[in-house]
Structure 1
């Protein structure tokens, strides 16, 4: 399964799709990126005259790339056009270190901890364009077909 096919299987669309590209994919992990444009819906109110990407959106970006995209790849042999995945986040524990501003591109690197019974748990890290660690943690979810 290609990166483009994985992205097409995602159960999201703009303005809640936070995956631009996937650059590395294997049974053990995935790497991808997303650029937060100045027009993202959440910047108008977070914060007044000082827009910063909310932590929940950073977590969602990490989950979409690091868990959902990897889960789709791991289930590629069970996927079909009429069996689109449904995703349920089961847990997350994220530490935040740096803010992400409008127009910043972030990269997400995810390493599989385990995948069994359609539950996937991963170590996930996000880096900014300067390759500085923005946030990291563990995220788990269930991928249902």
Structure 2
């Protein structure tokens, strides 16, 4: 499976797709990136005259790259055109360190902690274009084909 095929299998679309590229993927983890569109709907009110990316959107970006992309990769042998993955976020614990501004590119690095009984748990971190730590935490989800 190519990274383009993997991204195509994601159950999201614009304006709620937060994956541009998958740079590396293996059974142990994934690295990918996304650039936040300066015109994204959530910047209009978060915050007045000082837009920053909401933490919930940063968490979603980390989940899409770090959990969902990795989960699809791990289930690739079970996927067909009629059997698409179903994914549910079950838990997350996140710490935020730096803001992400409109137009900024981020990189998500995810390491698999456990994948058992269709439950995937990953340690994730988000870095800005300078390599500074933006956020890190744990994300878990259930995956089903």
Which TM class, normalised by the smaller chain length? Answer: over 0.9
Which portions of structure 1, spanning 4 or more consecutive aligned residues, are displaced by more than 2 angstroms?
none
Structure 2 residue aligned with 1:114: 114
- Superposed displacement of residue 109, structure 1: 0.2
- Superposed displacement of residue 139, structure 1: 0.1
Q: 2:97 & 2:86 partners in 1: Cα distance?
A: 31
- Superposed displacement of residue 41, structure 1: 1.0
- Superposed displacement of residue 85, structure 1: 1.0
2:24 paired with 1:24:
yes
3-state SS of the aligned residue for 2:70? helix
Q: Which ranges in structure 1 are unaligned for 5 or more consecutive residues? A: none
3-state SS of the aligned residue for 2:39? coil
Structure 2 residue aligned with 1:100: 100
- Superposed displacement of residue 87, structure 1: 1.1
C-alpha deviations, 1:2-25, integer Å up to 9, x for none? 111110100000000000000000
C-alpha deviations, 1:68-104, integer Å up to 9, x for none? 0000000000001111111100100000000000010
- Superposed displacement of residue 63, structure 1: 0.2
- Superposed displacement of residue 114, structure 1: 0.4
2:7 paired with 1:7:
yes
3-state SS of the aligned residue for 1:42? helix
CA RMSD, Structure 1 to Structure 2 (Å): 0.5
Normalised TM-score (structure 2): 0.99
User: Any residues of structure 2 matched to 1:1-145 within 5 Å, and which?
Assistant: 1-145=1-145
Q: 1:133 & 1:99 partners in 2: Cα distance?
A: 10
Normalised TM-score (structure 1): 0.99
- Superposed displacement of residue 117, structure 1: 1.1
Q: 2:29 & 2:2 partners in 1: Cα distance?
A: 14
Q: 1:61 & 1:54 partners in 2: Cα distance?
A: 11
